Amino acid sequence: MLVRIEDNVLPYIKKELSKTFGGTLDFTNKHALIVVGKRMDIFLVSNQIQEIFEKSKIKLNLFFAGQFIGFIMKRKFFPSLSVIHKLSKSAKKKISINDKAAELFIYKRDIFSNSILSISQTTKKGDIVIVTNKEDEPLGYGKINESSLIIKELGSKPVVENILDIGDYLRREDNPHSFYGEED
């Protein structure tokens, strides 16, 4: 397992978050610790951790350090739930769903058009959106399958594909290698 500090990855992540969700995070005084295995896991670490890491003469075999913010696989960034939680208030691409849909969503189910309470008008087919409950608490994120202009007219049709939800933590207890649908 290769571990390294790479600060040039943070501007890329910031740009991806802004492009995908219409929001941004502040990475001031943070560094990206990269753990490379099957994918590139990205962790935010402080200046102190960076100094310890860079001064260490021994090869560190780390699995994680700092705050996990997501991973890069096949040149695509997949944000963690903690990033979605922080990004949720400033994101421009969001969808709010009713209680029944929220319950189903956290069990990896897709969202049907008749369960949507509100949706950002700027969303279009193929966009990734943050999914919130009626109290505006982030539940995860998904991919829009229809334009926001016609979603309400579709009746009972699945319109948001679940990518990641807060129930993932519990599902991983049974299969620790199933993070983001990644199976061994």
Per-residue pLDDT tens digits for 12-29 = 899 999 999 998 888 887
What are the Cα distances from residue 119, in Å, to 81, 137, 139, 151, 156? 20, 14, 15, 9, 16
User: 73-130, pLDDT tens digit by residue?
Assistant: 888 899 999 999 999 999 999 999 999 999 999 999 999 999 999 988 888 899 999 9
Residue 72 has pLDDT above 70, yes or no: yes
For the segment 33-40, the average pLDDT, to the nearest whole number, is: 78
> How much of the chain, in percent, has pLDDT values that exceed 70?
84
What proportion of the chain, given as a percentage, has pLDDT over 90? 42
- Domains annotated for the chain, with CATH where assigned, are 2-86 (3.10.450.220), 93-173 (2.30.130.10)
Quick check: 113 and 152 in contact, CB under 8 A?
yes
Q: What is the pLDDT of residue 181?
A: 47
Examine the pLDDT at 183 and tell me if it is beyond 50: no
Name the phi and psi angles at 45, rounded to 5.
Answer: -130, 155
Query: For residue 153, what pLDDT is reported?
Result: 73
